[in-house]
Amino acid sequence: MDINLSGKTAIVCGATQGIGKATANALAHLGANIILIARNEDSLALTLKELPTDQSQKHTFFRADFSDIIFLKNHLPDFLKSYDKIHILVNNTGGPKGGQAIDADISEFESAFGQHLLCSQILVQNVVPLMKNAQYGRIINVISTSVKQPIVGLGVSNTIRAAMANWSKTLSMELGIYGITVNNILPGSTETQRIKAIIADRAQKSGKSEAEIREMMEQEIPLRRFAKPEETANAIAFLASPAAAYISGINLPIDGGKTGCL
């Protein structure tokens, strides 16, 4: 099975922590050149130093805050001028805050829509011509299991993730003719800062301890534990590889079997 990414160049968003950082490491281990994207320059510089590398690899970063869509739209094309080929794009952005959809302000939906779908659209429009040049393209969107089964208390997130999923499926139909695949990874509860925030919020609202909330959440998962970021990154790395050339337009849950539908 060919999962070698030597000579390939991958853009990984949200690359300084959690699933994004684990993905950057996984792709680098397979030989890819990595372009890290995140909003904090110090964290980007530190993550860059930690990436595995050999003499043939070159890693770099592009600082961008996805709450500033205009900055991304104006500056990403200039950054990419030095690249004639991009092979892999991993769209990965932190989730919106919790709360019921009925209580969310319009600005929360607008902000989440911009940070997720609009920024992903800008990235795709800039890299697809470079994927065509490379005659190789893998677009992988890190979304949520809420695409298949909405999660109680994450109203804005549920809404925006569904929009991302349909955008992705549409792209898979449009770009398949060029050999570019488009797939979604749907993480369940994963050992990241995001899950810690969700646990803290639920504990505060319920009066239970964070340990109790965590145990309750783990008991809902058939494998009885949260995922490690590296486990999700492994699935992303496979979809980015030559071995996954005929897989496109899918939603792949990485959730320990929790999602209650096929």
- Spatial contact of 186 and 252, defined as CB atoms under 8 Å apart: yes
Per-residue confidence (pLDDT) for residue 55, from 0 to 100: 87
Per the CB < 8 A criterion, the answer to whether 102 and 155 are in contact is yes
pLDDT surpassing 90 at residue 243: yes
φ, ψ for residue 243, nearest 5 deg:
-65, -20
- Token digits of residue 241: 């590889």
Q: How many CB atoms lie within 10 A of CB 159?
A: 18
Domain locations in the chain? 9-188+228-254, 192-226
Whether residue 201 has pLDDT greater than 90 = no
d(CA 31, CA 198) in angstroms, rounded, equals 35
pLDDT top residue among 197 and 139? 139
CATH of 9-188+228-254, one of 3.40.50.300, 3.40.640.10, 3.40.50.720, 3.30.497.10: 3.40.50.720
CA distance 192 to 44: 17
pLDDT band at 198 (very low <50, low <70, confident <90, very high): confident
Euclidean distance between CA atoms 44 and 24, whole angstroms = 11
pLDDT at 194 over 90: no
Does the model's pTM come out above 0.85? yes
Three-class HEC string of 15-66: CCCHHHHHHHHHHHHCCCEEEEEECCHHHHHHHHHHCCCCCCCCCEEEECCC
Judge whether residue 227 has pLDDT over 90. yes
What pLDDT score was predicted for residue 126? 98
Q: Left (φ > 0), alpha (ψ -120 to 50) or beta: where does 99 sit?
A: left
Whether residue 26 contacts residue 230, with contact meaning beta carbons closer than 8 Å, is answered with yes
Distance CA 130, CA 238 (A): 21
Over residues 97-130, the pLDDT tens digits come to: 889 999 999 999 999 999 999 999 999 999 999 9
Q: What is the pLDDT of residue 94?
A: 87
> Cα separations (Å) of 212 from 30, 56, 71, 100, 225?
39, 48, 42, 22, 14
Length of the chain: 262
Query: 197 pLDDT exceeds 90?
Result: no
Question: Could you give the strand order of the β-sheet that contains 33-38, starting from the edge strand earlier in sequence?
Answer: 60-63, 33-38, 9-13, 88-92, 137-142, 180-187, 251-254
Residue 40 sits at the vertex; the CA angle it makes with 34 and 42, to the nearest 5 degrees, is 80
For residue 32, pLDDT beyond 90:
yes
**Over the stretch 121-160, which tens digit does the pLDDT of each residue have?**
999 999 999 999 999 999 999 999 999 999 998 999 999 9
What does residue 222 show for φ and ψ, rounded to 5 degrees?
Answer: -50, -35
- Give the pLDDT score at 12: 98
Taking only the tens place, the pLDDT of each residue in 34-58 is 999 999 999 999 999 999 999 899 9
In this predicted model, what pLDDT tens digit does every residue of 81-96 receive, in sequence order? 999 999 999 999 988 9
Mean pLDDT over the full length of the chain = 96
Contact 258, 221 (CB under 8 A): yes
User: Closest Cα partner for 15 from 70, 62, 69?
Assistant: 62
